[in-house]
Amino acid sequence: MGLILNIDTATENASICVARDGMAIATMVNREQKDHAGWIQPAIARLMQEAGFAMQQLQAVAVTEGPGSYTGLRVGMATAKGLCYALHIPLITESTLKVIAYATREAIGLSTGEPHLLPTLICPMIDARRMEVFTAVYNMDLEAVIPGGARILDNNSFNKELENNRLIFCGNGSVKWKPLCGKHSNAVFYEGDGYTAAHLGLLSEQRFQQEIWADLAYAEPAYLKEFYSHIKN
């Protein structure tokens, strides 16, 4: 049973959550993506104060490692590692895609044992600009059927998976996939409120119980593709 600070700055909405035993005690959200770096440190201080805990009481810090925004991922990882170094506590990392898949599963009320005519899979998507997304496919136990990666969408994407499975598409990248997918009978689009660091809280608690720590010295964001910048001469 751990008291864990959970941090997510991977996408347009940043959030932090202090959770005990996987249950959220207090959560804060920032919807201004350009302000994640300036928001996160003061927000953590306020969050801990409102939750009634001192920083020294934390037993671990968890962070979404990516994929997501390059800048956002660096902000979250640097913050989490800095706190772990200062407090001498372990670092926990989790895939942003798995957190989205978990949040979607919980929101639509699907259980791992719910019967369907076809197996149900969850396909989270994060917008990677143009027609590209970061995506993966998970079963209802949140095991990766297709590992995370960058994928350029076209009309034939996921044809094989849709043939014999009911696929639930979610995340901000699924918006541009929906018109290409058409009205496939096995495709379901979840357009809910998304996820927060509170959803990371349960997954990080599972890793805490199993003592699955990230290497504090070498942990880095999972970008899933190279970063390219346009430099003016």
In the chain, how many domains are there? Answer: 2
Instruction: Write the pLDDT tens digit of every residue in 27-58.
Output: 999 998 788 999 999 999 999 999 999 999 99
* Same structural domain, 173 and 116: yes
Residue 203, domain CATH: 3.30.420.40
Does residue 36 sit in the same domain as residue 26?
yes
Cα distance between residue 192 and residue 201, in whole Å: 19
Assigned domain for 220 exists: no
Residues 63 and 171 placed together within one structural domain of the fold? no
Same domain membership, residue 89 and residue 48? yes
Q: Is residue 202 in a domain?
A: yes
Q: Are 134 and 125 in contact (CB under 8 A)?
A: yes
| CA-atom Rg of the chain in angstroms | 18
Q: What is the mean pLDDT of residues 72-84?
A: 97
Statement to judge: residues 41 and 154 lie in one domain: no
Domain identity same for 182 and 137: yes
Verify that 117 and 66 share a domain, yes or no: no
Looking at the structure, do residues 82 and 126 belong to the same domain, yes or no?
no
Q: Which residue range is the domain that position 45 belongs to?
A: 3-96+195-210
Residues 40 and 151 in one domain: no
Joined together, the tokens standing for residue 42 give 């003061």
Residue 168's domain is classified under what CATH number?
Answer: 3.30.420.200
Helix (H) / strand (E) element for 189: namely strand 187-189
Element (H, E) at 66: strand 60-66
The pLDDT of residue 184 is above 50:
yes
Q: Tell me: the pLDDT tens digits for 202-217?
A: 999 999 999 999 999 9
Residues 77 and 158 in one domain: no
Residues 122 and 184 reside in one and the same domain: yes
Burial state string for 177-191 with b = 16 or more CB within 10 A and e = fewer than 16: beeebeeeebbeebe
68 and 14 both lie in a single domain = yes
Q: Model-level pTM?
A: 0.93
* pLDDT tens column, 160-178: 999 999 999 999 999 999 9
In a domain, 228, yes or no: no
